[in-house]
Structure 1
Amino acid sequence: MADLVPLIGPARSIVKFGLDAFSNVSRVGIKQILKQAGLEEKPITPYEIGFMIAPRINAVGRLEHAIDALRLLCTNSPEKAFRLAEHLGDLNKNRQNLVEKSVKAAREMLLNEKQAQQANFYSATCDEALIKKQDYITLAGNKNLAASVNISNNKTKRADLQTPTCDDNIVQEKDSIALGGFAKTHASGIVIPKLVILISNHWNEGIIGLIASKIADEFYRPTIIITKSNNHYKGSARSISGFDITGFLRSLKKYLIDVGGHAQAAGFTIEEKQLKDFVKFAQKKANKLLTEKDLEPITKADLKIPINFINLSLYKLLTLLEPFGIGNPRPTFYSEAELVDAQIFGKTHTHLKLLVKNPDSKSTPLEMIYFNKADLFPQLARGQTIRIVYSINLNRWNGKESLRGIVRIV
């Protein structure tokens, strides 16, 4: 699950019965991980493995040495298990902070020409980089929709959402990032190449894959992150649907010392003297291989359904299809809904919480969570009709259970 193995065939059976075994786990190391992650006596799903348990185990290998993770899993000493689990938890927090800062630096490098030059970011020049005016999509901002947001003592940002009063209050169905043509244009006007390659001497080698993943997700571009490692440079790549990044890199193997991976992720080693040529020819090749259609992200939904059809009975039926993950994704739904309320939340005020209901009905509103999309807040208004693709899960908090949607796209 942590390495994105498809949950089909024997792998699906291993995961299903392995998750069931967590309730009877006897290893003190695993018990301590569960305790420090706040998962004691709670159901363990692929989500908890992928986002709460595995990152703790992986963090020590990324930032120090993986031997401590092995020691934690093998020890019979409760005291040693507690100490090692605590250390892994602290390292995971450090890893999260380091990734956040590094992604911010990479993003600024990509969007800021001067910073990119200072960081040895080599960008291929090509006449195709010119984008026609109609290929640009701009931020659909609207001053009438702006909401007042107050922040104090790290409390949740809350929306004083205004009620639309004119046709101008309809938010256009456009993203702040344009897709199409040779390159995607960010709201800032920066033209982004089809293949993103960022190079720095300062990124930690253990997290460059995470940086690549974040950048690829945000800009929907195959992304290669390269950093200095002893006498060579190490690269980690993440791709988009339909573009085999490992096959692509192997076609450029004359510039590389080694390369390995699968269709969606790869790693490689390269000599410094090969960097400039590698970037030049990699981007040139990507420009020929990637089409406009390839660079348009597609969000698929399994079923169009009214919001008021989402209930506990439906959720329980869906649990019969578990475990969900790569190869067996959680079912997604498409609904048209009326926005009842919205607020920004999270320690860093980056997430969006929506309350929606079926239009023209008095149904009970359903809570929706849209992670890392607080920037959409100014475009929202009470009473607005929005179209949502989402999945549903069961939120357990303080002994209570409630349904909520996890938004894929609005």
Structure 2
Amino acid sequence: MLKRWIRKPAPDREKVEHLSAALRVNESIIALLCQRGICSFDEAKAYFRPTLEALPDPMLMRDMDLAVQRLVEALFQEEKVLVYGDYDVDGTTSVALVYSYLRSLFGPARIDYYIPDRYIEGYGISNMGIDWAAANGFKLIVALDCGVKAVDKISYARDKGVDFIVCDHHLPGDELPPAVAVLDPKRSDCPYPYKELSGCGVGFKLMQALCRSQGFDEEPLHELMDLLAVSIAADIVPITGENRTLMYHGLRRLNDPSIETRPGLYALRQLAGLREGPLTVSSLVFGFAPRINAAGRLGDAKRSVAMLLSETAEQALATASVVDQTNTERRGFDTRITEEALQMIETDLELRNARSTVLFKQDWHKGVIGIVASRCLDKYYRPTVILTESNGKATGSARSVAGFDVHQAILECSDLLEQFGGHMYAAGLTLPLENVAEFRRRFEAVVASRIKEEQLIPPVEIDLPLRLREVTWNFFNLLRQMEPFGPGNPSPVFEAQQVYAVPGTAKVVGTSHLKLTLMQEDSNQIDAIGFGLSDHYGRISKGQPFNICYTVDVNEWRGQKSLQLRLKDIGWE
């Protein structure tokens, strides 16, 4: 697929030279820092060595004082507390973190957790969950990763004598729910300085505030930061500011050989085949998250929480094996439905030529349609909505391309919908079956009128030009000091022009991948791999020079490590 190469502006040369001299660090590394807004010695120090002491005071969050006061009241009046979370990774890790910490204070008899059934109760707070809490004597519910729009549900709970503390990170609606406290940095009246916490991050701040108000030791809370790291990675929130600090320390816990790994996460690591090397954000996104998510998509998300809370390796492995099997089943659904969806596009001329994709099939599994939407987006780069039937309605997931607000496009079709929610790049929606055809027509019209031609071409953002001779172990080790990488702090992408494949080294591996050894006129040879770039093999094998954009990686093979370029794209002049 053709890609747009977008070159970031070069940073101010004087700032680069000044900071490079102050830090005694390679100018290319300093240029990367300045591009990310880190232009002073103190900013660089905080970036390379983020400390927990520098995190914002949790009491800055609106309603935090009320939330802490209600928790303390429940603690000393011996009330029962229910920890309630969504069924995705952010929700289940939130529940595991908050439940673990509060259990040490309240004791096992006065605390429990609840995850709604995706298919029976749907997303977020449910009347069924509230009824269960009231029937079992719970006076307080701490809702995590959900609740900020649950006005009617929380009103229902209040009428039944059940209080709520909401810990959410989604955009609030016009009216806040009548909870004791609504903790959400995205509230328009919330002065908390960092707005991009995950749901688990908001729960962590509540526990941090509780600790400090009562003079408790924070170390037991810090021991739960591995769960917080999984949440941040899986929910694709920016790895900037506070999130980057939390991720940095969470990964340190996961990778420190002197710290015993949480049994549930250790079991996941084994089942995901991540036995060697340090865990990274990518490890958590692609190794841990799908397995935790699968339980909520196809089975019972409480299994994921039980796995994360396991106290022994035997317990954890038994539960993780079930979760892993569920993930295998999920992959089967995912693959089959993706093939069907792509076939629908490929055999329909109108769909192929459209500016958007809207597909509906009654028997597609609701639990994987978000994944299928992402797969279709990868193949046909345009705003995509995948719908299936559930409880007599059409329900689905939307995904978007860089720079196009799919939530706004859906909003303009809202008279056809029963409910929808989400953000610029991902959304969920439900509508009557009889409205599907009209929604497809209207959504296509909105997208076609708004989207720019260049937005239909996937972008590759390039940080800096970098000649191959500059890719050394010393440079790579400095580059790794910029980790953890992720959204908002991506792994740097470099450009090199007029490179050649060493004769005889280019080959196609797998079905569509390109493996080769590269050189420039003034460089040593370096191995490279380009996933999905095999279409370039013919011209490369003829010895023609070409341009590349790439990231720097390490290849480990039979105990030997070597630097390797991971090609993002290949260009020809």
Q: Shorter-chain TM-score category? A: 0.7 to 0.9
Distance 1:26 1:292, change over 3 A: closer
Q: Which amino acid aligns with 1:216?
A: L
Question: What's the secondary structure of 1:321's corresponding residue?
Answer: coil
Task: Look up the match of 1:323.
Answer: 484
Tell me the TM-score normalized by structure 2. 0.55
Answer yes or no: is 1:74 the counterpart of 2:74.
no
Question: What's the secondary structure of 2:506's corresponding residue?
Answer: strand
- Structure number with higher relative contact order (C-alpha < 8 Å, ≥ 6 residues apart): 1
Q: Which amino acid aligns with 2:335?
A: E
Task: Look up the match of 1:11.
Answer: 243
Distance 1:259 1:109, change over 3 A: same
Could you tell me how far 1:342 is from its partner in structure 2? Answer: 2.4
Give the 5 Å matches for 1:65-214. Answer: 65-113=300-348, 191-214=352-375
Structure number, greater radius of gyration: 2
Question: What's the secondary structure of 2:532's corresponding residue?
Answer: coil
The percentage of counterpart residues that share the same residue type is 31
Task: Look up the match of 2:565.
Answer: 405
1:221 to 382, 399, 405: 382
Could you tell me how far 1:25 is from its partner in structure 2? Answer: 4.1
Answer yes or no: is 1:241 the counterpart of 2:402.
yes
Give the 5 Å matches for 1:256-267. Answer: 256-267=417-428
Give the 5 Å matches for 1:273-288. Answer: 273-288=434-449
What RMSD over aligned residues (CA atoms) do the two structures have, in Å? 2.0
Q: Structure 2 CA distance, aligned partners of 1:240 and 1:250?
A: 17
Q: Structure 2 CA distance, aligned partners of 1:351 and 1:95?
A: 25
Question: What's the secondary structure of 1:209's corresponding residue?
Answer: helix
Q: Structure 1 CA distance, aligned partners of 2:535 and 2:316?
A: 41
Distance 1:378 1:234, change over 3 A: farther
Per-residue deviation, residues 281-318 of structure 1 (Å, max 9, x unmatched): 11111111112233233322111122222121111111
Q: Is the 8 A contact 1:355 1:368 kept in 2?
A: yes
Q: Structure 1 CA distance, aligned partners of 2:327 and 2:513?
A: 21
Q: Structure 2 CA distance, aligned partners of 1:106 and 1:379?
A: 33
Question: What's the secondary structure of 2:237's corresponding residue?
Answer: coil
Distance 1:99 1:353, change over 3 A: farther
Could you tell me how far 1:371 is from its partner in structure 2? Answer: 2.1
Q: Structure 2 CA distance, aligned partners of 1:61 and 1:351?
A: 33
Structure 1 gaps, min length 5:
115-122, 124-189
Could you tell me how far 1:382 is from its partner in structure 2? Answer: 4.3
Task: Look up the match of 1:55.
Answer: 290
Question: What's the secondary structure of 2:552's corresponding residue?
Answer: strand
Q: Is the 8 A contact 1:25 1:31 kept in 2?
A: no
Could you tell me how far 1:68 is from its partner in structure 2? Answer: 1.1
Q: Is the 8 A contact 1:194 1:286 kept in 2?
A: yes
Q: Which amino acid aligns with 1:394?
A: V
Q: Which has the higher helix share?
A: 2
Answer yes or no: is 1:342 the counterpart of 2:506.
yes
Q: Is the 8 A contact 2:500 2:540 kept in 1?
A: no
Q: Is the 8 A contact 2:393 2:433 kept in 1?
A: yes
Q: Structure 2 CA distance, aligned partners of 1:298 and 1:43?
A: 29
Q: Is the 8 A contact 2:533 2:569 kept in 1?
A: no
Task: Look up the match of 1:119.
Answer: none
Q: Structure 2 CA distance, aligned partners of 1:47 and 1:59?
A: 18
Per-residue deviation, residues 123-149 of structure 1 (Å, max 9, x unmatched): 6xxxxxxxxxxxxxxxxxxxxxxxxxx
Q: Which amino acid aligns with 2:486?
A: G
Distance 1:377 1:41, change over 3 A: closer
Per-residue deviation, residues 325-359 of structure 1 (Å, max 9, x unmatched): 0011110011121023223334xx3433232211x
Question: What's the secondary structure of 1:300's corresponding residue?
Answer: strand
Tell me the TM-score normalized by structure 1. 0.76
Return structure 1 stretches of 4+ with deviation > 6 angstroms: none
Q: Is the 8 A contact 2:265 2:308 kept in 1?
A: yes
Question: What's the secondary structure of 2:395's corresponding residue?
Answer: strand
Q: Is the 8 A contact 2:468 2:524 kept in 1?
A: no
Q: Is the 8 A contact 1:239 1:263 kept in 2?
A: yes
Q: Which amino acid aligns with 2:235?
A: D
Q: Structure 2 CA distance, aligned partners of 1:9 and 1:205?
A: 35
Per-residue deviation, residues 191-234 of structure 1 (Å, max 9, x unmatched): 42111111112322111111111221222211111111231111
Could you tell me how far 1:95 is from its partner in structure 2? Answer: 2.6
Question: What's the secondary structure of 2:389's corresponding residue?
Answer: strand
Structure 2 gaps, min length 5:
1-232
Could you tell me how far 1:31 is from its partner in structure 2? Answer: 1.3
Could you tell me how far 1:41 is from its partner in structure 2? Answer: 5.9
Q: Structure 2 CA distance, aligned partners of 1:309 and 1:272?
A: 58
Q: Structure 2 CA distance, aligned partners of 1:191 and 1:40?
A: 42
Per-residue deviation, residues 223-250 of structure 1 (Å, max 9, x unmatched): 1111112311111111011111112212
Question: What's the secondary structure of 1:243's corresponding residue?
Answer: coil
Per-residue deviation, residues 3-53 of structure 1 (Å, max 9, x unmatched): 110011111111110000103244211111112223346311111111111
Answer yes or no: is 1:381 the counterpart of 2:545.
no
Q: Structure 2 CA distance, aligned partners of 1:383 and 1:283?
A: 44
Task: Look up the match of 1:20.
Answer: 252
Q: Is the 8 A contact 1:339 1:386 kept in 2?
A: no
Q: Is the 8 A contact 1:307 1:357 kept in 2?
A: yes
Task: Look up the match of 1:42.
Answer: 277
Question: What's the secondary structure of 1:43's corresponding residue?
Answer: coil
Q: Is the 8 A contact 1:245 1:263 kept in 2?
A: yes
Q: Which segment drifts farther, 211-220 or 236-245?
A: 211-220
Q: Is the 8 A contact 2:290 2:327 kept in 1?
A: yes
Q: Structure 2 CA distance, aligned partners of 1:382 and 1:100?
A: 36
Distance 1:298 1:29, change over 3 A: closer
Task: Look up the match of 2:38.
Answer: none
Question: What's the secondary structure of 1:48's corresponding residue?
Answer: helix
Q: Which amino acid aligns with 1:31?
A: Y
Q: Is the 8 A contact 1:110 1:192 kept in 2?
A: no
Q: Structure 2 CA distance, aligned partners of 1:87 and 1:351?
A: 33
Question: What's the secondary structure of 2:462's corresponding residue?
Answer: coil
Could you tell me how far 1:378 is from its partner in structure 2? Answer: 4.6
Distance 1:354 1:257, change over 3 A: farther
Q: Which amino acid aligns with 1:259?
A: F
Distance 1:82 1:261, change over 3 A: same
